[in-house]
Chains A and B, each alone.
Chain A
Amino acid sequence: MRNNAAISKGIDWSLVWIYFVLMVIGLSAIFAATYQEGDPVLQSFIAFKTDYSKQFYFWGMALMVGFIILLTDSKFFPTTANFWYAVGIILLLLVFPFHSRIKGTESIIRIGAFNFQPAEFCKIVVALALAKYFSRPETDFNRAGSQFTAALLVLIPAGLAILQRETGLALVYFSFFLMMYREGLPSIIPTIGFSFAILIIASILIPPNILAVLLSVIAILLIYFSRRQIRRRRQILTSVLFIWAIAVGIQRFAVPFIFEKVLQKHQVERIYNLFGKDNPYDPQQRVLSEDASKKKKERGSSYNVRQSKIAIGSGGFFGKGIFSATQTRYDFVPEQRTDFIFCTVGEGFGFLGSMLLLGLYLTLLLKMINIAERQRSTYSRVYAYGVLSVFFFHIVVNMAMTIGLAPVIGIPLPFISYGGTALLTFTVLLAILIRLDADRQMVIR
């Protein structure tokens, strides 16, 4: 009894409540998406047959793990962080010889009946390791060396994930830069990153030659208007010319290289489809007539997004009700129990339901920022921001892709999407955060 009181002491119950509400929404959404008229619900729960029953058991397991974490001493996490990081990387490497052949991915190890995806699990260890690294007294994030080490901690698993053809998961690791920004990443880096993103989007939208001319015109105008400063400092001219050269280089050579050699064909297509364009790097599509390629596009990768938009759009204000949602119930949206689960909510519960879910997530994220800021120890704060970054990225990208604002990246919606590993990962991330927050009066390093 006394022990119990000690565990619950300091725990932020609002997080726990949000967690439970999201889990219930998720379970019912999966139920709605996969339940067929006349399914024996009770039997399938016992027989571990249907997706909703499986998810229910996954939840049970995740709850158990979460409870164990809450029982753990909060010092356990910083002390073992490096160890876990090492384990994570080894697991990621083990994937290469031992991965199972499951549709299109090479990132899964099969242990008995379970599919284990180390790249998913590694989000936790990276968050822990980064927190550990930032909380070292000798780390000074203003130094380039420290920045480099921190970046390396993130980029190693990200690179491995790319090699396992899990680009979506790899992108999640880049979300840790949000946390690094909070920890004092020089503003120049996000500025460069942002400019880079704009340059890439521009090179998708604008034909390469015109863009090159445009960039040159901008550079010339810049030089013309700052000619007085240039007269005083020659360096400005060189730096402008340098930036111009890099920009044109990226636009003319780097972007084609990435689209042709690094990314997979379907990913490039998704990116181009997002902007309503055909993939110019697909030799097949270049041959097709305009009409044919238009048809192909409708059936092709944008089919998911189109159907998903129809599902969400047809929900209206109040939604159609969970069992009258024709789009989701009759499999018009592919992958709707996993990555496109938001369709079920959007169609079944309409604008009202979507806003409630969105509000719930917003509360969760803002709550996490508050929790992070109230930590006394750097370790806890950095970890909290790490968790925030991962959740933020998942929620935003997942929702944006279902409503056609982001390219289709196969990442799950936290606590809602079907999938055991993802559920366990998110639960563990949150549980550790709650545990650390409960001990926020202690200074942990």
Chain B
Amino acid sequence: MAIYNQPRSNTIRLIVIITFLIIALQLFYLQLVDRRYEQLAMDNAVYPKVIYPERGIIYDRKGKAILNNTIIFDLMVTPAEAKGIGTLDFCRLLKMDTSEFRKRMVDAIIKNTSVRPSVFKAMLTKELQARFEENSWRFPGFNLMERPLRTYPYHAAAHILGYIREADKRDIERSNNFYRQGDYVGKTGLEAYYESVLMGQRGVQYMIKDNKNRIVGAYEGGEYDTAAIAGRSLHTHIDIELQQLAEALMSNKVGGLVAIDPNTGGILSMVSGPNYDPNDLSGSEGSRNFSRMQLDVSGPMLNRAIAGRYEPGSTYKPLGALIALNEKVVNAAYGYPCGGRYTLCGHGKPECTHAGGGHAASLRLAIANSCNAYFAHIYRLTVDNPKYTNVCDGYMHWKEYMNAFGLGVRLGVDLPNESTGGIPDTMVYNRENAGRWTSCTNLTLGIGQDKMQTTPLQMANAMCIIANKGFYYTPHFVKEIEGEGPADQIRLNRFQKKHNVLANIPDAVFNEVIEGMSDVVKVGTARGAQIEGIEVCAKTGTAENYTILDRRRIKLPDNSMFVCFAPKENPKIAIAVFVQNAGFGATWAAPIARMMMEKYLVDTLTANSKLDSARIASTNLMPSYYKRLQYKEDSIRAFKWFQVTKDSSYIDRFSMQDPAMGPQSPFRKNPAEQRLPNWVILLSNSSLPERALKQIKIFSA
């Protein structure tokens, strides 16, 4: 029987060998041919954890850290481990209601499953953190995770330093996917300009995760990890005490202030009003404050010192004098018989605050007394110089001077979003006047008005040029970058370069103008800017301005301006102060600049100045029409929200109806059918109900 079946044992052998061969072939394919599985396994089990480097620190001129890093805590939860905790207790501790607690738990589970930790409450306040730490043993599954935070120990220099925020889609796209979701990017200020220096280099830690995506340990003992490289620090020219004083003085005012050291071009202080505490934008209340500020019509986020465009008014006059002198259309002894107005163009404008008395009998006197007729006239003489073929040619030469003074061009400060200001081209005048215009058309350019627009930074820089008698260094903040490499040197070399823009103007000409500016303080319009023992050269400025509100042109209070440098011999500081809608230059801008100079040059304020500074700091000069603007913006936005959400509560507080009327209110009845509500009519009506005004929070410190 066994012999009969002998071949069958071979068949069985064959079956065994063939099946094993099939298995071996499949293994060969899986393990050696198809390389997909390796990647799949990596994706499965290896999690590249990004390690964020510490951002660089920013120091002031004396080595004080004005922008530092600290740590704040996020409350994390692992829902699976947090079962059975005393929810009520927990909610009481964290001051939230149980429905909010439940919602956050559900969110966490949806986002990250119940076995992985997710953020329960981001950025705890110091108080909540302390409360939680004391009681943490009672709440398993909850723990604190640190996250780095920018902190500003001096609560100052918000506009200079800028802020960081999480990279949005645009940042990521623009950077060619260098940034990733969750990265922080400098958005404005030095944080943005020196982003590549401050950010450092991300590190990667390869972690192993298990089948439930829990981190179990380091992959291959960390062999492939890259360490994070901390961001490098910046040393700046900022004088933080000066900056703090300037911010105090500019509080509750709209405008800009810039103080530059003419010897280096280093910016000592830069303030834009209204101002804010940079700490408000980081930390737990950061996003709330951010959106609040963005909706504020007074624009606290706008850096007016570099982006605010103002008519320089009389502060332009020293420049006009320099040009006229250099073009030899006048000499220092030139006088103009001003009788209170300029009559040579036929319309008797501009008017002059002084009349007669020889207040413009010489260039020095004209500067000291800020004679409008004088400077309008010498502007005309400059432009209508017989050297040039026509007024266009003359104007273009004048414009060249202006650009050399840094007006109408970007100076290249190390901050983003610098404005060019505005010195119009001849094209503008050709277009507006059908190609026929004379020096009378833009006569007021001679007194810094018409279409001339400058930023506070540009005016401060122009003061540097006068103080230096012809040259300037590009205004900048950063003196030194920690661990400077070749790329950084290229960056900073730009600031070492001396711009000899007006070397063709002889020192004698400068001296004439400087003497005039000195007289401004000694005997002229800005006697309030005198400092004991220091000779200050300055020029005040007052510019009229108007706005259109509710379809009406209204005259606003004048802009108060002041430019100066000191001391006269060997100048150490040049300042430009612009305060919007405040009044005369001598009343507000001049004392602010005086206190700045005092602080910087003497280091202490006199008792008198201290009193004065307290008075100025506590004065609210916010333009009153902002209230109205804010109301309009808010109500329009509310209406848009109402249109989207059909939730009448958005517009209730703006409606004329009494909210107490409840369902009787036409807004509550059927929002969809409601015709345009009363408040739209209200928008076209300039008179505001007292009640509506009260509901609007105006900007206050």
Contact = CB atoms under 8 A, between A and B. Distances in A.
Interface of A: 37, 178, 181-184, 307, 309-317, 324, 326-327, 330-332, 346-347, 350-351, 354-355, 358, 361-362, 365-366, 369, 372-373, 378, 381, 385, 388, 392, 396, 399-400, 403-405
Given A182-B12, A312-B31, A362 B38 contact: no
A403 B37 CA distance: 12
A372 to B, nearest CB: 7
B5 A183 contact: yes
B27 A312 contact: yes
Contacts of A388: 12
23 contacts: A182-B5, A183-B5, A184-B4, A310-B37, A310-B40, A311-B41, A313-B36, A313-B40, A314-B37, A314-B40, A324-B220, A326-B46, A326-B219, A327-B41, A330-B216, A346-B27, A351-B32, A355-B24, A369-B12, A369-B13, A378-B2, A400-B22, A400-B26
Contacts of B20: 358, 361-362, 396
B212 to A, nearest CB: 8
Interface string B51-74: 000000000000000000000000
Contact of B41 (A182, A326, A403): A326
Chief secondary structure at chain A's binding surface: helix
Interface in B199-243: 208-211, 216-217, 219-220
B625 interface: no
Contact of B31 (A317, A331, A373, A400): A317
A362 B17 contact: yes
Given A358-B20, A358-B24, A361-B20, A332 B9 contact: no
A396 to B, nearest CB: 5
Nearest to A400: B23
A307 B13 CA distance: 32
B31 A351 contact: yes
Contacts of B160: none
Interface of B: 1-2, 4-5, 8-9, 11-13, 15-17, 19-20, 22-24, 26-28, 30-32, 34, 36-38, 40-42, 44-46, 208-211, 216-217, 219-220
B31 A346 contact: yes
A326 B211 CA distance: 10
Contacts of A346: 27, 30-31
Nearest to B45: A326
Nearest to B13: A369
B19 A332 contact: no
B32 A317 contact: yes
Contacts of B36: 313
Given A314-B41, A327-B41, A381-B2, A351 B16 contact: no
The 6 closest A-B pairs by CB, nearest first: A313-B37, A314-B41, A326-B45, A330-B210, A313-B30, A351-B31
A330 B208 contact: yes
**Residue of A330, A358, A373, A396 ringed by the most chain B CB atoms within 10 A:** A330
A316 B23 contact: no
A421 to B, nearest CB: 25
A358 B31 CA distance: 14
A403 B46 contact: no
B13 A327 contact: no
A405 B22 CA distance: 9
B333 to A, nearest CB: 91
**Residue of A182, A313, A331 ringed by the most chain B CB atoms within 10 A:** A313
Contacts of B219: 326
Contacts of A369: 9, 12-13, 16
A369 B45 CA distance: 43
Given A312-B27, A351-B32, 15 more contacts: A178-B12, A182-B9, A310-B37, A312-B31, A313-B34, A314-B41, A316-B38, A326-B41, A326-B45, A330-B209, A331-B210, A346-B27, A369-B12, A369-B13, A373-B2
A354 B27 contact: yes
B16 A365 contact: yes
A326 B44 contact: yes
Given A362-B16, A403-B23, A403-B26, A327 B31 contact: no
A365 B13 CA distance: 9
A313 B32 CA distance: 8
B12 A313 contact: no
Nearest to B220: A324
Given A37-B217, A181-B12, A316-B38, A332 B27 contact: no
Given A184-B1, A313-B30, A392 B24 contact: no
Given A314-B40, A358-B24, A378-B1, A327 B45 contact: yes
Contacts of B2: 373, 378, 381
Nearest to B46: A326
B16 A366 contact: yes
A309 B36 CA distance: 11
Nearest to A334: B211
A332 B44 contact: yes
Given A313-B30, A317-B31, A378-B1, A396 B41 contact: no
Given A310-B41, A330-B208, A403 B30 contact: yes
A350 B22 CA distance: 17
A134 B23 CA distance: 33
Contacts of B17: 362, 366
Contacts of A392: 16, 19
Nearest to B9: A373
B12 A405 contact: no
A399 B28 contact: no
B216 A372 contact: no
B597 to A, nearest CB: 67
Nearest to A351: B31
Contacts of B12: 178, 181-182, 369, 385, 388
**Residue of B13, B27, B211 ringed by the most chain A CB atoms within 10 A:** B27
Contacts of B15: 178
A314 B24 contact: no
A182 B220 CA distance: 52
B679 to A, nearest CB: 49
B445 to A, nearest CB: 70
B30 A182 contact: no
